Amino acid sequence: MTVTPQTTYDRPAIPNRPGGWWHNFACPVHGAELLPGESTSENQAFRCPAGCEVSGEPYSGAWTVMCHQQAARRIRLAGHRGEAAHVFEALAQYRALLDTVGNKPNEGAEHWMVRGRLFHQALTEAIWGVAVADGIWALCEQLPDLDWGSAEDDARGLLAAILETVRAGRAELIDAGKLKSNYTAWLTAAERLASGALAALDGDLDTRGDLMSSPVGLSRHLQAAILPDGWEWEGAPYYHMFVLRASLLSLRGWSAAEIPEETQQTLRAMIGALTAISTADGTVPAIHDSPVARRAQDLEYLETMELAGQLFPDLVPQTAAIRDAAAARLGSEARETLAMIRGWIGGAGDGLAGGSGSGPGTQTGAAAGPAEPAQPEDAVGLSVFPDAGFGIVRQGGTGFSAVLDFGPHGGSHGHFDKLALYFYGRGVWWQPDPGAPPYGSFLRYPYAGVRSHPTVRIGNGEQAECSGKLLDARMDGGTAFLAAETRGAYPGVLLRRRVIMAPDHLIDIFDVEADSSADTPSGEISLGFRPDVDFALRPVPGDPLQWRSTWGDGSEVLFGTHMLPHTPQGTFGLRSVPVRAPADRPHLWRSGADWTLDAGLAGNPATRFASLYSAADPAAGLDVRDGRIIVTVSGRTHTYAAD
Summarised one tens digit per residue, pLDDT across range 533-551 is: 999 999 999 999 999 999 9
295-311 vs 332-340: helix crossing angle, rounded to 10: 40
* Cα 17 from Cα 56, distance rounded (Å): 14
Give the domains, in start order, of the chain with CATH numbers: 1-225 (no CATH), 226-374 (no CATH), 376-641 (2.70.98.70)
Using 50, 70 and 90 to split pLDDT, how confident is the model at 10?
Answer: very low
Summarised one tens digit per residue, pLDDT across range 48-79 is: 999 999 999 999 999 999 999 999 999 999 99
* Cα 137 from Cα 495, distance rounded (Å): 54
Q: CA torsion angle for 449, 453, 458, 460 (degrees, to 10)?
A: 40
* Cα 242 from Cα 608, distance rounded (Å): 39
Contact in structure between 42 and 62 (CB atoms under 8 Å)? no
3-state secondary structure of 473: strand
pLDDT at 568 exceeding the cut of 50:
yes
Contact in structure between 629 and 639 (CB atoms under 8 Å)? yes
Using 50, 70 and 90 to split pLDDT, how confident is the model at 204?
Answer: confident
Q: What is the pLDDT of residue 372?
A: 45
Counting other chains too, the contacts that 332-335 makes at CB distance below 8 Å and 24 or more residues apart are 333/8, 333/295, 333/299, 334/302
Using 50, 70 and 90 to split pLDDT, how confident is the model at 38?
Answer: confident
Q: What is the pLDDT of residue 349?
A: 43
- For the entire predicted model, the pTM comes to 0.93
* Cα 192 from Cα 189, distance rounded (Å): 5
Mean pLDDT of the chain: 91
